[in-house]
Amino acid sequence: MEVVLLRLLLPPSLGRAKATARAELLATALASELGADASGEVAANYRELETRSLAGEAHLVWAPASLCARLEPTARAIYKSVRHGSSCYRSALISRRTATTRIEKLAGMRAAWVDSLSFGGYLLVAHHLRKNGVDPDRVFSTQVFYGSHPAALGAVLDGEADVAAITIPGSTEEDVRSALALHAGPKARELALVALTDAIPTDGFVLTSRIPEARAEAIAEVLFGKTRGRPSFLLAAMETEAFVRASPGEYAPLLEFLARK
């Protein structure tokens, strides 16, 4: 495989320090596996991630569902993350355990979101609330975007906000506790579920159109080919059990969702 510089772009959803460490891990591993120089970078926010990805600045993108939907028409391939046996996820509205918050009691509360383009950290919960007759723009006294899941939960734990939204891999209580532990650590026990949304396709590893088609297939075989049992480093970095190739048009319904939001 010819040696070229492969540019990898990641979202900041895990928090700047953690995401940067993973970008470095992935770049090193990709260089080793693919026999090519690779660089990894974390976008400042979801808007920058989307802008740079759509502009063709990256060969490989770890993309949230919203960006997968926008990149899908031109992407060489998208490999969805599989967590807890599923390649779909939900969003959960979270409050402090002592607050015993309910959807019908959100008036005047302060909301902590991840990013305006984050499905798990904002869009799904906002849509769920509107379906249940609660308009976030009218009900909440403040809505602040904190840039990452840990930061949004941290705002609730620190008393800066009353509720936050985070991504949940499934619909069970164990799924909720696992996600809270991931982003809040030991303090997860202080948090409780308020509401859970419907499911959408997970985040994915996108091979963008910047990669020549023939080379994209070669890269996909190295990283995701079943015969080689790959890729342990990708599984660890993205905290996923497996990857499954997205079907053509699988993310398309999310574009309609984005247009209506």
Domain boundaries, the chain: 6-85+202-254, 88-199
The reply to whether domains 6-85+202-254 and 88-199 share a CATH topology is yes
| 1 has a pLDDT exceeding 70 | no
Please tell me the distance from the alpha carbon of residue 117 to that of residue 119, in angstroms, as a whole number. 6
H or E stretch at 37:
none
- pLDDT level of residue 4 (50, 70, 90 thresholds): low
pTM strictly above 0.85: no
| 232 has a pLDDT exceeding 80 | no
Asked whether 76 and 209 are in contact (CB, 8 A), the reply is yes
What's the rounded mean pLDDT across residues 44-69? 93
According to the model, what pLDDT value does residue 260 have? 65
Please tell me the distance from the alpha carbon of residue 98 to that of residue 261, in angstroms, as a whole number. 32
According to the model, what pLDDT value does residue 226 have? 61
According to the model, what pLDDT value does residue 15 have? 77
The domain covering 6-85+202-254 belongs, at the CATH homologous superfamily level, to Periplasmic binding protein-like II (3.40.190.10)
| DSSP string over 125-161 | HHHHHHHTT--HHHH-SEEEE-SSHHHHHHHHHTTS-
Closest CA relative to residue 77, chosen from 234, 247, 193, 254? 247
Enter the tokens of residue 254: 């999310």
Question: Treating both helix axes as pointing N-terminal to C-terminal, what angle do 213-224 and 16-34 enclose, rounded to 10 degrees?
Answer: 100
* Cα 21 to Cα 37, 40, 157, distances in angstroms: 18, 9, 25
173-194 tens-digit pLDDT: 999 999 999 999 999 999 999 9
| 68 has a pLDDT exceeding 80 | yes
For the domain made up of 88-199, the CATH class stated in words is: alpha beta
Alpha helix segments (H runs only) across the chain = 16-34, 46-54, 65-71, 124-131, 136-139, 149-157, 173-184, 213-224, 232-237, 252-260
- Dihedrals phi, psi of 226, to nearest 5 degrees: -65, -30
Asked whether 25 and 231 are in contact (CB, 8 A), the reply is no
User: Which residues are 41's β-sheet partners?
Assistant: 9
